[in-house]
């Protein structure tokens, strides 16, 4: 085994820093560590800009970062992945790893900045911030800042609503007329946003608010209205009498994953089969090569939530109690770090999702996974616990955002509907974090995700006892400890036979029997007689816990034996001890 | 952790270099033989040979396309050889192509026939090697016992006869409970003890082989593979080791799915192999776990399957067929998600179970109630497994693990899993007999001796093999096994119950061709009636057209109108939308019933010149036609 200690690498790195003359004084280091790449975190980056940031970071921190394209999107953009790993402490595949992505829905843009911020903060902290340095030395990270590059590019490049460009950009026949993407939105008033259209109609059931005409409100029973809602800005491009019924794309890549995938008539946007989009296929192909991924996070917007599976009520019991308890520990920690965020279960607290990404990670691959829904409008209000009226909301929009996310209503002569009003919230309203609050949002979510990452299993031999049973027979009892919250094998994995059981191997002496025991004082066990030197441990080692194993061995006193504990989602550990009476902790 | 040792058959490597008499089923085509025969067929002007993809092992997945003349037309898809052991399907599918070209080529003017005769060539090759072991699945390696060693404990041909059969361990050690005894009526057969007859189990059963990896299990991790027919999306059995890592993870399954998704012309499919939904009518009531897709078929399509079932019985005269759980199968996906009529049939049935038309009419109607001496069993959501058996399993599970199995486990369980668990726990699997299933009827030969014990399935097979002079069984021979001690090796030859003697293949193929031609004849046939044009004055016109289906079958399944996975016929009027007073300018037809079913379209519109206006009917299967309107 490659001997590895955190201290060693810190010392080595500190040494390097000294040699390079790049040491920073303690006063500056305290939360003001400079990065080699200056990035403003009070703004958003379109796909090309985010690509440049990724490349700049990888260039600036080659000792930690590796860039890799997982494949090409529908429109040929690279699916960039940044692997963060310190090769001095081993290959990424030897360590528990956390997979982090964002922006599967093209319009949920700040997810990408949150991933970029995480890479930026970790790289500048290495060797400077002990906690993060230790974390980097014992784990690896796989970052995919945007897994829907086309959706991101489209959202920035063209007029959109807050909700459009959620899809990927494969042309799709959404209205079954044999034509692809033939009737999308139009920015009729040329303000750069797709807002709402209202038709003047004396029989309409809506009217403009007298005090604030930017608010369109329902008309009370018995009063005269003036407006009828037409929907988003656009015209009937294909002459079928409908507006905007078949815009770009028109599917949902977060319903395209393999666990509980269901066809379109059950789950809108699912695609023809799991991974039938190049983006999801590229990500899945990579993830399937990394059984060491022990934690997963997929950033979305909006609403302020830390979500876990299952996505459908009939899968509720697929999550065994011990796993739910683990999720609770992580989720509750997240609620502390993220004010006004709720730790919720997707199907019961939000809505039903079939074929979602974190569901595949958790249910298909046994990875402890969350989806964070970034940003909640409550963050901008003085009293986030109270529901606000439209007037009050507009007031805060004005005073805080200076009205920047709202386009005033203007009249427009529409080819199908005659005189209409066009206006309303821009694409930056409602779902996107106000830029001045972006950095805080990135940091708080980063902090939660680092807590999640630091909870990935870490093993150590805790204690070993050897008894001389006479005539060359020895009883070896060993305690293997997992010092972190996430078990080496989630219960969902051991129950459903996902991945491989852990493996404890003894070599260097003849093993007659072996087995797991309740504790070191346990006299009896249900021994494995066949191939007892290879003990398969389906349940793994629980979080913040240890398990006890026993071997009956034949060998000469003093002979060195070797114990090795292997787990998919933890770093393997190994030790050598001589066959000699002992009863002591392992240090 | 391997629990299913004795149930898994596995591939083998010969320990003895004994020459094999059986090995490749005689007269059956190897992959090379198949390629040359298909090339021969493709010399016909109306046939062309291509491929839909490549197997994991690199073999081409052949596609024969049969059609005569030019122009768009619908197509029927015939797929065989998904299930590796079912070699007979490939033989029949290939001969269907020959039959169609030789005797029914006029049909190919109106219908394309796509034939994928062997969708799993790697699996087929594994059933045709030197050692016959009975192998389902493709060439994907699966660590079946999940011990981090791959395929380290396969079956072994201990007696050197070239066949992997069974072992009876005659003197099991005390920690192994005997499970079977030799059938007193025919000691070649293994039966579980009938306690009411005072029977006692004396031996345990294993597949022929050694404990190659010294883990105490025999053959628990042989050539494990992914079953292509468990790798599709409808009710994909996610955590089953033979279901693949994700739906369509296997190149064979992906190629089939891709071909179907890329071919809007396909109107129906026939899959020849392990599954059957025509002799055993599919369930038309139950829903799957989402409650939004049918478990098997939607009630609206029950008649379609009844009709096709009658055609199939007429053609092949099979009396019964074994039913398997269709979770993850190709044919189930074609129906439940693609919305196509998808008929799954066996290529062959044991002749004593076949019956002529006359025989069937003589038979008494199936009894509505089960026999009095049999306890009434309650149906469960798990195939034909009874609720009573599930309850027993639940208790056993609770005893074993100390916790109740959760509902998810129960909802995801398949009949095959029940069989495996039950075998390990020594629980008898009690099945609910389908009232309508001919399998539940008493076989002809037993009618006059109803007091006498019925022949078991295995006994019927032995009887058939003897009568037909087929070597389908290896007699038990003693052997000293390195870890099991005294054993006897013998039993049914893998595949013998599935693949008939080659001499029967031509006749079988003729019968199947009768069925296929019947399906082709029944297909939808659309006629456009009209237009009728009424001039109202002031440039106003009312126009009617009707699309009428003169074929027997509906243009689409009833359920496809829910899935919307079959592209609609698009009916388009040229008049601008703001001049249309009544009717959809762009209309979609999702399906038209058979036997004169209609889709009526009416528009009222204003135009300057009716002679400039058209109606376009764009049918993804039959092609496009433009109807010019004209005034009087």
- Judge if B115 and B241 occupy the same domain: yes
| Nearest neighbour of A265 by CB, restricted to B261, B292, B580 | B292
Stretch B262-277: mean pLDDT: 97
| One domain for residues B516 and B539 | no
The per-residue pLDDT for range B134-192, each reduced to its tens digit, is 888 999 988 888 888 887 888 889 999 889 999 999 999 998 999 999 999 999 999 99
For chain A, which residues make up each domain, given as ranges? 6-154+252-375+436-454, 172-247+378-425, 459-585
Give the range among A291-295, A350-354, A526-530, B208-212 with minimum mean pLDDT: A526-530
Burial class (CB in 10 A: 0-12, 13-18, 19+), B424: middle
Strands in B112-116's sheet, in edge-to-edge order, are B47-54, B60-66, B112-116, B75-80, B266-272, B342-345
CA distance B120 to chain A (A): 20
pLDDT digits (tens, 9 = 90+) for A186-240: 999 999 999 999 999 999 999 999 989 999 999 999 999 999 999 999 999 999 9
Superfamily of chain region A6-154+252-375+436-454: Zn peptidases (3.40.630.10)
Distance CA B495, CA B127 (A): 8
Nearest CA in chain A to B564: A265
Q: Looking at residue B222, what is its pLDDT?
A: 76
Residue B157 lies in a domain: no
Mark whether B534 and B564 lie in a shared domain: yes
Which residue, chain included where needed, has tokens 């294993």?
B206
What mean pLDDT is predicted for residues A417-423? 96
Torsion-angle region of A63 (φ positive above 0: left; ψ -120 to 50: alpha; else: beta):
alpha
Report helix, strand or coil for A50.
helix
- The answer on B89 and B18 residing in a single domain is yes
Q: Which residues of A touch B409 (CB under 8 A)?
A: 317
Asked if B126 and B222 count as a contact pair (C-beta separation under 8 A), the reply is no
Same domain, B120 and B40: yes
Which of A496, A505, A93, A544 lies closest to A294 in space, CA to CA? A93
Confirm or reject contact between B211 and chain A (CB < 8 A): yes
Going by pLDDT thresholds of 50, 70 and 90, the confidence category of residue A105 is very high
B217 touches chain A (CB under 8 A): yes
Q: How near does any CA of chain A get to the CA of B102, in Å?
A: 37
Residue B311 lies inside a defined structural domain of this protein: no
Least Cα distance to A26 among A129, A163, A176 occurs for: A129
Name the closest residue on chain A to residue B291, using Cα atoms: A266
**What residues of B are in contact with residue A273 (Cβ under 8 Å)?**
233, 247-248, 257
Nearest-Cα distance to chain A for B438, in Å, is 34
pLDDT, position A421: 97
Q: Identify whether B445 is part of a domain.
A: no
Q: Considering only the beta carbons, identify the residue of A239, A314, A530 that sits closest to B216.
A: A530
What does the alpha-carbon distance between residue A564 and residue B357 come to, in Å, rounded to a whole number? 69
Determine which of B341-350, B384-393, B522-531, B589-598 has the lowest per-residue pLDDT on average.
Answer: B384-393
- Which residues in chain A are closer than 8 Å to B561, comparing Cβ atoms? none
Structure confidence by residue, pLDDT tens digits, A143-160: 999 999 999 999 999 999
Question: Is B113 contained in some domain?
Answer: yes
Say whether pLDDT at A4 is over 60: no
Residue that terminates a domain, selected from B398, B432, B466 = B432
Mean pLDDT of chain B: 86
pLDDT tens-place string over residues B425-483:
667 777 776 443 333 344 444 444 444 567 889 999 999 999 999 999 999 999 999 99
Put simply, whether B400 touches A (Cβ < 8 Å) is no
Average pLDDT for chain A: 93
Confidence tier at A493 by pLDDT (50, 70, 90): very high
pLDDT of residue A15: 42
Would you say residue A435 has pLDDT above 90?
Answer: yes
Cβ contact (<8 Å) for A263 and B409? no
Report chain B residues whose CB lies below 8 A from the CB of A504. none
Fold of A459-585: Immunoglobulin-like (2.60.40)
* CB within 8 Å: B246 and A262: no
Q: Looking at the complex, does the CB of residue B153 fall below 8 Å from at least one CB of chain A?
A: no
Tell if the CB–CB gap between B407 and A314 is shorter than 8 Å. yes
Per-residue pLDDT tens for B513-543?
A: 999 999 999 999 999 999 999 999 999 999 9
Buried/exposed B486-508: b ≥16 CB within 10 Å, e otherwise:
ebbbbbbbbbbbbbbbeebbeeb
Q: Indicate yes or no: CB of A531 within 8 angstroms of CB of B213.
A: yes
Q: Which of A177-191, B67-81, B291-305, B362-376 has the lowest mean pLDDT?
A: B362-376
Residue B405 has pLDDT above 70, yes or no: no
User: Average of pLDDT values for B207-227?
Assistant: 86
pLDDT given for residue B536 in this prediction: 96
Could you read off the pLDDT of A339-349 as tens digits, one per residue?
Answer: 999 999 999 99
Instruction: Give rounded-to-5 percent helix, strand, coil for chain A.
Output: 30, 25, 45
Shortest alpha-carbon distance between residue A144 and chain B (Å): 22
Give the closest of B213, B233, B245 to A273, CB-based: B233
Q: Chain A closest CA to B573's CA: distance in Å?
A: 10
Give DSSP secondary structure letters for B564-610. Answer: --SPPEEEEE-S-GGGEEES-SEEEE----TTTEEEEEEEEEE-S-G
* Cis, peptide link before residue A302, omega less than 30° from 0: yes
Instruction: Please tell me whether residues B255 and B334 are part of one structural domain.
Output: yes
Three-state secondary structure call for residue A309: coil
Shortest CA gap A529–chain B (Å):
8
Q: How far apart are CA A361 and CA A499, in angstroms?
A: 12
Distance between CA atoms of A309 and A344, rounded to whole angstroms? 9
Q: What is the pLDDT of residues B567-622, one digit of tens each?
A: 999 999 999 999 999 999 999 999 999 999 999 999 999 999 999 999 999 999 98
Give the number of beta-carbon pairs within 8 Å between A and B: 120
Check if B264 contacts A (Cβ < 8 Å): no
Best residue in B5, B140, B146 for a mutation probing chain A (most A CBs within 10 Å): B146
* Interface with A, mutate which of B153, B215, B260, B623 (most A CBs under 10 A): B215
CB contact under 8 A, B233 and A263: yes
Chain A CB contacts of B257 under 8 Å are 272-273
What's the confidence (pLDDT) of residue A278? 98
Question: Residues 155..184 of B with a Cβ closer than 8 Å to A: which?
Answer: none
CB contact under 8 A, B408 and A316: yes
Q: A203 phi and psi, to 5 degrees?
A: -100, 5
Candidates A391, A275, A178, A254; CA nearest to B623 is A178
Residues 313-342 of B with CB under 8 A from A: 336-337
Residue B236: closest C-alpha in chain A: A260
Q: Is B213 a residue whose pLDDT tops 90?
A: no
CA-based nearest residue in chain B for residue A354: B290
**What pLDDT does residue A190 have?**
94
- pLDDT at residue B435, rounded to an integer: 44
Domain with residue B572: its CATH number is 2.60.40
Least confidently predicted of A279-288, A566-575, B429-438: B429-438
| Residues paired with A366 in a beta bridge | none
Q: B290, A314: Cβ pair inside 8 Å?
A: yes
Name every residue whose Cβ is closer than 8 Å to that of residue B286 and which is 6 or more positions away in sequence: B294, B295, B296, B381
Q: What is the pLDDT of residues B3-54, one digit of tens each?
A: 333 223 333 323 333 333 444 578 999 999 999 999 999 999 999 999 999 9
Question: Which has the closest alpha carbon to B305: B285, B291, B288, B287?
Answer: B285
Higher pLDDT, A306 or B631: A306
Which residues on adjacent β-strands are paired with residue A306? A343, A372
Percent of chain A, pLDDT > 70? 95
Q: Is B584 on the interface with A (CB under 8 A)?
A: yes
Instruction: Tell me the per-residue pLDDT of A378-407, one tens digit each, with 9 for 90 and over.
Output: 888 878 777 778 888 888 888 899 999 999
- Contact between A65 and A119 (Cβ < 8 Å): yes
| Domain extent at residue B53 | 12-129+226-275+324-348+502-521
- Residue A148, token pair as written in the block: 């829907």
Instruction: Judge whether B425 lies within some domain.
Output: yes
What percent of chain A shows pLDDT beyond 90?
Answer: 88
Q: How far is CA A577 from the centre of its chain?
A: 41
- Residue B352: the pLDDT is 72
Task: Indicate whether B121 and B237 sit together in one domain.
Answer: yes
CB spacing of A416 vs B213 below 8 angstroms: no
Q: Report the distance separating Cα B449 and Cα B440, nearest Å.
A: 17
From chain A, the residues in CB contact with B173 under 8 A are none
Contacts with A179 from chain B: Cβ below 8 Å: none
The C-alpha atoms of residue B138 and residue B227 are separated, in whole angstroms, by 6
CA distance A11 to chain B (A): 37
- From the list B247, B293, B407, the residue facing A258 with the nearest CB is B247
Q: Residues of A with CB below 8 A from B261's CB? A: 272
- Helices vs strands, H then E, count in chain A: 13, 23
Residue-level pLDDT at A18 = 42
Instruction: Kindly indicate the confidence band of residue A575, based on its pLDDT and cuts at 50, 70 and 90.
Output: very high
Predicted pLDDT of residue B364 = 43
Q: Flag whether residue B105 sits within 8 Å of chain A, measured between CB atoms.
A: no
Instruction: Report how many domains make up chain B.
Output: 4
CA distances from residue A69 to A34, A231, A317 in whole angstroms, order as listed: 28, 39, 37
Is residue B585 domain-shared with residue B624, that is, in the same domain? yes
Other beta carbons less than 10 A from residue B76's beta carbon: 23
Return the pLDDT at A29.
54
Q: Are residues B532 and B517 in the same domain?
A: no
The arithmetic mean of pLDDT across residues A160-175, rounded, is 96
Question: What's the confidence (pLDDT) of residue B424?
Answer: 64
Contacts of B293 in chain A (CB under 8 A): 262-263, 265-266
C-alpha B373/C-alpha B453 separation (Å) is: 14
Q: Which of B217, B567, B585 sits opposite A241 (nearest CB)?
A: B585
Q: Give A66→chain B minimum CA distance, Å.
A: 28
**Cross-chain CB nearest to B408 (options A240, A315, A501):** A315
User: Do the Cβ atoms of B233 and A317 come within 8 Å?
Assistant: no
Angle between helices B87-103 and B31-41 (to 10 degrees): 10
């Amino acid at each position: 085994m490659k001997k590895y200690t955190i201290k060693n690498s810190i010392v080595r790195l500190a040494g390097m820093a000294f040699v390079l003359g790049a040491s920073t004084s303690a006063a500056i280091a305290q939360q003001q560590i400079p990065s080699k790449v200056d990035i403003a975190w009070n703004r958003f980056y379109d796909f090309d800009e985010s690509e440049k940031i990724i490349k700049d970071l990888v260039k600036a921190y080659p000792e930690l970062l590796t860039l890799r394209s997982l494949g090409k999107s529908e429109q040929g953009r690279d699916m960039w992945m940044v692997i963060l790993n310190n090769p001095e402490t081993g290959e990424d595949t030897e360590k528990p790893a956390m997979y982090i992505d964002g922006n599967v829905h093209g319009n949920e843009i700040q997810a990408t900045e949150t991933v970029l911020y995480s890479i930026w903060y970790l790289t500048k902290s290495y060797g400077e911030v002990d906690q993060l340095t230790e974390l980097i030395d014992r784990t690896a990270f796989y970052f995919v800042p945007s897994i829907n590059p086309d959706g991101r590019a489209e959202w920035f490049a063209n007029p959109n609503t807050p909700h459009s460009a959620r899809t990927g950009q494969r042309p799709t026949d959404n209205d079954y007329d044999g034509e692809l993407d033939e009737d999308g939105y139009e920015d009729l008033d040329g303000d750069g946003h797709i807002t709402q259209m209202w038709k003047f109609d004396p029989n309409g059931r809506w009217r403009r608010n007298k005090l604030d005409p930017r608010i369109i409100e329902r008309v009370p029973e018995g009063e005269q209205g003036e407006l009828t809602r037409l929907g988003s800005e656009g015209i009937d491009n294909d002459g079928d009498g409908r507006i905007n019924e078949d815009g770009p794309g028109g599917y949902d890549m977060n319903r395209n994953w393999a666990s509980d995938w269901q066809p379109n008539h059950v789950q809108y946007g699912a695609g023809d089969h799991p991974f039938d989009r190049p983006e999801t296929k590229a990500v899945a192909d990579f993830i399937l090569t990394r059984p060491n991924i022990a934690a997963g996070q997929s950033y979305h917007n909006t609403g302020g939530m830390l979500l876990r599976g299952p996505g459908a009520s009939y899968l509720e019991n697929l999550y065994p109690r011990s796993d739910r308890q683990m999720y609770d520990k992580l989720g509750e920690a997240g609620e502390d770090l993220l004010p006004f965020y709720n730790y919720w279960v997707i199907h019961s607290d939000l809505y039903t999702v079939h074929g979602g990404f974190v569901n595949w990670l958790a249910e298909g691959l046994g990875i402890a996974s969350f989806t964070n829904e970034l940003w909640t409008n409550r963050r901008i209000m003085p009293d986030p616990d109270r529901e606000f009226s439209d007037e009050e909301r507009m007031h805060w929009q004005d005073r805080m955002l200076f009205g920047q996310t709202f386009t005033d209503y203007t009249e427009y002569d529409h080819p199908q509907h005659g005189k209409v009003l066009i206006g309303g919230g821009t694409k930056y309203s409602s779902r996107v974090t106000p830029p001045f609050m972006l950095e805080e949002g990135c940091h708080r979510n980063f902090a939660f995700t680092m807590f999640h990452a630091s909870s990935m299993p870490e093993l150590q031999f805790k204690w070993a006892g050897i008894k001389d049973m006479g005539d060359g027979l020895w009883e070896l009892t060993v305690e293997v400890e997992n010092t972190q919250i996430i078990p080496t094998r989630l219960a969902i994995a051991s129950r459903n036979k996902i991945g491989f059981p852990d493996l404890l191997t003894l070599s260097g002496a003849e093993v007659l029997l072996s087995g797991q025991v309740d504790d070191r004082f346990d006299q009896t066990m249900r021994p494995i007689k066949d191939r007892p030197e290879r003990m398969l441990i389906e349940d793994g080692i629980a979080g913040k816990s240890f398990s006890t194993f026993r071997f009956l061995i034949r060998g000469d006193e003093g002979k060195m034996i070797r114990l090795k504990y292997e787990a998919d989602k933890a770093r393997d550990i190994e030790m050598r001890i001589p066959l000699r009476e002992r009863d002591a902790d392992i240090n | 952790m391997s629990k299913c040792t004795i149930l898994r058959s596995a591939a083998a490597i010969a320990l003895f270099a004994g020459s094999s008499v059986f090995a490749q089923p005689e007269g059956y085509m190897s992959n090379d033989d198949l390629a040359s025969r298909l090339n021969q067929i493709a010399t016909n002007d109306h046939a062309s040979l291509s491929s839909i993809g490549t197997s994991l092992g690199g073999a081409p997945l052949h596609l024969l396309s049969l059609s005569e003349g030019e122009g768009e037309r619908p197509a029927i898809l015939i797929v065989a050889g998904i299930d590796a052991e079912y070699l007979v399907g490939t033989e029949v599918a290939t001969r269907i192509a020959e039959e169609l070209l030789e005797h029914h080529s006029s049909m190919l003017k109106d219908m394309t026939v796509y034939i994928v005769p062997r969708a799993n060539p790697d699996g087929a090759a594994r059933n045709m090697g030197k050692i016959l072991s009975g192998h389902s699945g493709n060439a994907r390696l699966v660590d079946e016992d999940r011990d981090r060693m791959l395929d380290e404990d396969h079956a072994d041909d201990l007696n050197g006869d070239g066949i992997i059969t069974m072992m009876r361990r005659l003197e099991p050690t005390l920690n192994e409970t005997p499970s079977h005894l030799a059938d007193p009526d025919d000691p070649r057969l293994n039966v579980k003890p009938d306690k009411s007859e005072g029977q006692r189990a004396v031996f345990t059963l294993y597949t022929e082989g050694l404990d190659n990896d010294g883990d105490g299990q025999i053959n628990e991790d042989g050539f494990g593979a992914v079953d292509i027919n468990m790798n599709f999306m409808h009710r994909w059995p996610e955590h089953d080791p033979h279901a693949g890592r994700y739906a369509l993870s296997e190149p064979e399954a992906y190629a089939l799915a891709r071909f179907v998704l890329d071919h809007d012309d396909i109107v129906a499919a026939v899959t020849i192999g392990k599954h059957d939904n025509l002799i055993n009518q599919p369930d038309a009531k139950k829903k799957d776990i989402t409650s939004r897709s049918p478990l098997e078929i939607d009630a609206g399509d029950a008649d379609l399957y009844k009709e096709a079932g009658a055609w199939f019985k007429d053609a092949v005269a099979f009396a019964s067929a074994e039913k398997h759980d269709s979770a993850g199968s190709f044919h189930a996906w074609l129906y439940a998600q693609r919305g196509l009529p998808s008929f799954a049939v066996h290529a062959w049935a044991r002749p004593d179970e076949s019956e002529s038309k006359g025989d069937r009419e003589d038979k008494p109607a199936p009894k509505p109630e089960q026999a009095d001496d049999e306890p009434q069993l309650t149906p469960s959501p798990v195939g034909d497994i009874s609720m009573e058996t599930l309850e027993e399993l639940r208790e056993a599970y609770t005893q074993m693990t100390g916790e109740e199995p959760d509902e998810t486990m129960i909802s995801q369980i398949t009949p095959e899993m029940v069989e495996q668990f039950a075998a390990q726990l020594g629980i008898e699997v009690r099945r609910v007999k389908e009232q309508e299933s001919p399998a539940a009827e008493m076989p002809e030969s037993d009618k006059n001796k109803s007091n006498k014990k019925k022949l078991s399935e295995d006994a019927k097979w032995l009887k058939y093999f003897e009568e037909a002079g087929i070597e389908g069984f290896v007699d038990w021979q003693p052997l000293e096994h390195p870890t099991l001690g005294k054993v006897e090796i013998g039993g049914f030859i893998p595949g013998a119950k599935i693949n008939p003697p080659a001499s029967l293949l031509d006749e079988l193929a003729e019968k199947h061709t009768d069925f296929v031609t019947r399906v082709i004849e029944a297909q939808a046939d659309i006629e456009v009636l009209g237009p009728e044009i009424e001039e109202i004055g002031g440039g106003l016109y009312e126009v009617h057209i009707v699309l009428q289906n003169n074929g027997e079958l509906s243009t689409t399944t009833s359920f496809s109108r829910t899935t919307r996975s079959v592209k609609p016929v698009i009916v388009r009027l040229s008049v601008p939308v703001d001049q249309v007073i009544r009717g959809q300018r762009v209309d979609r037809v999702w399906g038209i019933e058979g036997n004169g079913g209609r889709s009526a379209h009416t528009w009222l519109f204003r135009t300057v010149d009716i002679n400039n206006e058209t109606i376009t009917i764009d049918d993804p299967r039959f092609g496009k036609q433009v109807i010019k309107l004209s005034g009087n």
